Structure 1
Amino acid sequence: MSAVIMFGSFGLLLLLSVPIGIALALSSIATLLYAQDMPLEFLAQGLVTSVDSFPIMAVPFFILAGEIMGKGGLSKRLIKVAESVVGNIAGGFAMTTIITCFFFAAISGSGPATVAAVGGIMIPAMVQIGYSKQFAAGIVAAAGTLGVIVPPSIPMIIYGVASGTAVGDLFIAGILPGLLIALLMLIYVYFYARKKGYSGTGEAFSFMRLLRAVWDAKWALIVPVIILGGIYGGFFTPTEAAVVAVVYGLIAGVLLYKELKLKDLYEVCRNAALMTATIMLIIGAATAFGKIMIIEQMPAKIADGMLSISDNPVILMSLIVILLLFVGMVMDTTAAIIIFTPLLMPVGIELGFDPVHYGIIIILTLVIGFITPPIGVNLFVASEISGLSIMKISKAIVPYIAIMLLALILIILIPEIALLLLGG
């Protein structure tokens, strides 16, 4: 009955358009009042203790780093590098967008931040040279998902905390899946652009032009090397890497590129603070929600229930993927990871999945929700930049959803895609 009250009230609040963090808190209160085996103070304690975590501290710093680097001119220079490589190919500007999102993902760790930083430049540029606005907005929203898959990734940090998995291992495991998705998107865009007649820049590839672009973008290109090299080299933890990213972003934006002005810092800090506050509220409420589920023994019961349906790993994994695809459509990814990781982890272990591989599967499945209505945050950011309705962008996004589902199937069937760089 506790489960019915908890999930029933939560679902009802979501239908009433109550913000996800508030809905989680209110459904937790309803469950506590019914069960009466825990005081209401449990929720308040959960809100505080859940964010009192060293790994979680990486979240606000990566958000701030992404904002600083977006304003500091790093994204513009990454675009120039990508354009000098593929700009002359059919669909070159769209391919440039994907490659830039991949690079920026290795800086920001956030899907919406990647869409905002790259889309603000590339959507108008693509429209200006003849791309349809709908196609331009769709490719930016889709490529923005790389911000969650390519390390560093905020959802990977959340999953690592929720599951006890090493965040550094998750970061390494996300590299090849990110490359796979980017490659599949590039292939699709190339053939679609040829069909539609979207030509490149018309400029022949020039090695000297590429070298000039790389030299101009050297301070931006070195960021992933510092962040990921520092983590994997054992020089600092993911949390410390996030702080290093903020400091480096300030140095690059203010002193090296000289595009980040003091007057911009207020807007940068304001945007980062608003996003951080929203995410932290969700983390706190979702963690309390999850702890109540564990106390009420819901994860064990759900795992037993799923395993009683079938002992066929393919059927069970299909059920998990379908469940997470639906959850990703209606729930914030951060909250979904905190809530469903303890629920589904016992099933994954029973099926013999490596915790890191299983985490990549969970994150990638939920990330598809970034580009599916009604909660798809990347769609909202792309809509705000392009001025198009969510419905129009949603139609353009369908092929990319199919691409991500194909990548998900390959990663499930071929664990080495996630585990190869870990020596698995």
Structure 2
Amino acid sequence: MNLAILIAVFVGGLIVGIPVAVTLGLASAAYLLAAGIPLVVMPQKMYAGIDVFVLLCIPGFILAGNLMNSGGITERIIRFANALVGWARGGLGLTNVAGSMLFGGISGTAVADAASIGGMMIPGMKRAGYPADFSAAVTAASSTVGPIIPPSVPMIIVGALSGISVGRMFLAGAVPGIMLGLAMMVTVYIIAVRKGFPRQPWQGWGELGGSFLGAIWAIAMTALIIGGLMSGLSTPTETAVVASVYAFAVGCFVYKELPLRAVPRIVVDSAISSAAILALVGFANVFGWILVSEGIPQAIASGVLSITDNKYLVILLINVLLLFVGMFMETIAALIILFVPLLTLATGVGIDPLHFATFAVLNLMIGLTTPPVGVCLFICANIAKLPLGPVVRALLPFLLTNIIVLLLVSYVPAFSTWLPALLMD
């Protein structure tokens, strides 16, 4: 009965549109009241969920991304991406994807990518003659690359939950992230050829070199982050602080587009974004603790193993479950609630923890572009001033492409384990 109340309040909250973090909190409070458990348990479990040292790097990476974005990074990345691939058929669509791949190495979040890249690219693509629904769809789809290519906020959460090295998680996402981006570029090109989308003239080696030099300080941030982690000179949290200082210095003194008077506002906005994520982590930890106390994770594992203990079928079942969950639940909440029990199931049938963590995060990133709770989908449709229907239809080829990449990463462990083994073992 108490579990039914928990599920009813949670599902009801999602249906009426209450934010996921608040829904998790309300459902957890309703369960505690029905079960006669003192409500003081709630703040205790929330604090336990966020009292993890590695989570301190989330505010640092968010601040670094916001500083670089306000300091002219987005424009320079798009200019370089356009000089690199914009000459091909459907060049602005290819630029959109390439820009997301480069920007993803700075922001670490899909929502920041969709808002920043989309705010520039969607209106620009519409003016150049691209359909509005395609412009929004390619932006939403490519924004999911951000949390795969390091740094990655979801992978930081996974590291905190499982004890897997965040540095290894970052490296594990690099190859799948590049695969995802390249596959979407192929999809853009095929659609562009079929529909006769415009192309731009080649801008010359001078523009390519000049745009690269303009963006080099931004691109170097990814090398700074990965280099610090691989060399062992800094922890993820220390790397996030270094990245923030670097972003401030580049924005103020190299690009000279970040006025000092804007910094306090950026710090406050970053703190608000970080607080929202950590509040979600806290409420999801309470919800997850309730599910564990009710034996739900064990029931999921037993249910799957009663069907099959074949590793490849288990991978398929996990992917189907996460794709379904990603349609209705925010990524971080889904990770906190489901990751540990599914990791136990995965390792029980011989799946490498790092491999599982990589395809689980990739899977839930796809959920950011699927209705009814696709945050990036909503952002891009809003920028394009379109209802969801046309954008979802235009998004279908990209969803198919992303699922193909997901299956490749799921069934070929080397895509996620090769680079960490090469550089960190």
What is the letter of the counterpart of residue 25 of structure 1? Answer: G
1:186-244 Cα distance to aligned partner (Å, 9 max, x none): 1111121122222322135x223221111122211211111111111212111211111
In structure 2, what residue type is equivalent to 1:86? Answer: V
Question: 1:415 — aligned with what?
Answer: 413
Specify the code of the residue in structure 1 equivalent to 2:8.
Answer: G
CA contact (8 A) 1:3 1:298 kept: no
C-alpha distance in 2 between matches for 1:394 and 1:388: 11
**Does residue 226 of structure 1 match 2:224?**
yes
- Distance in 1, Cα, partners of 2:225 & 2:81: 21
Amino acid at match of 1:89: A
Structure 1 residue 386, shift from structure 2 partner: 2.1
Question: Map of 1:139-218 to 2, 5 A cutoff?
Answer: 139-203=138-202, 206-218=204-216
In the other structure, the counterpart of 1:73 is 72
Q: 2:288 matched to which residue of 1?
A: 290
Closer, same or farther in 2 for the Cα pair 1:149/1:6, shift >3 Å? same
Once the 2 structures are TM-superposed, how far is the Cα of residue 270 of structure 1 from its aligned partner?
4.0
Kindly indicate whether the alpha-carbon contact (under 8 Å) linking 1:46 and 1:287 is maintained by their aligned counterparts in 2. yes
Residues in 1 aligned to 2:105 and 2:130: alpha-carbon distance in whole angstroms:
27
Mapping of 1:275-424 within 5 angstroms?
A: 275-423=273-421
Per the TM alignment, residue 331 of structure 1 is displaced from its structure 2 partner at its CA by: 0.7
**Matched letter for residue 307 of structure 2:** I
Q: 1:392 to 1:264 in 2, by over 3 A?
A: farther
Q: Deviations over 1:239-263 (max 9, x none)?
A: 2111112111111111111111234
One-letter amino acid of the structure 2 residue matched with residue 161 of structure 1: A
Q: Are the counterparts in 2 of residues 290 and 342 from structure 1 also a CA contact under 8 Å?
A: no
Q: Deviations over 1:116-173 (max 9, x none)?
A: 2212221222222211121111111111101111111000111111122111111110
Unaligned runs of 5+ in 2: none
In 2, Cα distance between the equivalents of 1:188 and 1:341?
31
SS at match of 1:24: helix
Partner of 1:101: 100
Output aligned runs, 1:252-267, within 5 Å: 252-267=250-265
| 1:71 aligned partner, one-letter code | S
Q: Identity of counterpart residues, as a percentage?
A: 38
1:9 positional shift: 2.8
SS of residue in 2 equivalent to 1:410:
helix
Moved more, 125-134 or 176-185: 125-134
Superposition RMSD in Å: 1.7
Q: 1:6 maps to what in 2?
A: 6
Matching residue of 1:15: 15
Q: Residue 357 of structure 1: CA displacement?
A: 0.5
**Whole-Å separation in 2 of the counterparts to 1:155 and 1:263:** 31
Show CA shifts across 1:254-280 (max 9, x none): 111111123433543343233222211
Residue type at the aligned position of 1:94: G
| Equivalenced residues, count | 422
CA distance in structure 2 between the aligned counterparts of 1:410 and 1:99, rounded to whole angstroms: 21
- Alpha-carbon shift at residue 181 of structure 1 (Å): 0.6
What is the TM-score of this pair, normalised by structure 1?
0.95
SS in 1 for 2:327: helix
| Offset from partner CA, 1:14-35 (integer Å, 9 cap, x none) | 2232221121112222322344
| CA shift for structure 1 position 284 | 0.3
- Look up the match of 1:138: 137
What residue in structure 1 maps to residue 27 of structure 2?
Answer: 27
CA distance in 2 between partners of 1:33 and 1:7 (Å): 14
Quick one: distance in 2 between partners of 1:39 and 1:343?
Answer: 26
Q: Matches of 1:329 and 1:402 in 2, distance apart? A: 15
Asked whether the equivalents of residues 300 and 346 of structure 1 are also in contact (C-alpha less than 8 Å), the reply is no
When normalised by structure 2's length, the TM-score is: 0.95
CA contact (8 A) 2:312 2:411 kept: no
- 2:326 maps to amino acid: G
CA offset at residue 401 of structure 1? Answer: 0.8
Out of 246-255 and 291-300, give the one that drifted further.
Answer: 291-300
Residues 90 and 200 in structure 1, CA contact (< 8 A), matched pair in contact too: yes
| Offset of residue 289 of structure 1 | 1.4
Q: Deviations over 1:48-88 (max 9, x none)?
A: 23222211111122122222111110111111111111111
Whether the 8 Å contact between 2:314 and 2:346 is mirrored in structure 1 is no
Flag structure 1 segments of 5+ consecutive residues without an equivalent: none
Aligned residue runs from structure 1 range 106-117, under 5 A: 106-117=105-116
Whether the 8 Å contact between 1:109 and 1:154 is mirrored in structure 2 is yes
